[in-house]
Amino acid sequence: MLNTPGHTLGHHVLLVKLPRTGNVLLSGDLAHFRENYDNNVATGFNSNRVETLASFDRVKQIAANLKATVIIQHDPRDVDKPPAFPASAK
């Protein structure tokens, strides 16, 4: 679990390391849509804009370093990316 404050004080992103799929970052509430994440847009309902943007940067750096797939969990375009369980655990 990666500490990613901004949306809420105790927000975290989950890093999952899968044997076949590789590294996957499950964003939780980090960003509402892919465009928010890609363009560093903190929505008005986040608790702290500066922390949100710092968390975006942190997750992007970790994703780049680990070649991880980032799943924006509120974005329907990302929700269907991973296969259903049990295939998603590979």
How do residues 5-37 score in pLDDT, each as one tens digit? 998 889 999 999 998 889 999 999 999 899 999
CA dist 24 to 46, 47, 51, 61, Å?
24, 25, 22, 13
Q: Where are the domains of the chain?
A: 2-89
- Total count of residues recorded for the chain: 90
pTM of the model: 0.88
Q: Report whether 67 contacts 22 (CB < 8 A).
A: yes
Convert the pLDDT of each residue in 34-81 to its tens digit: 999 999 999 888 899 999 999 999 999 999 999 999 999 889 888 877
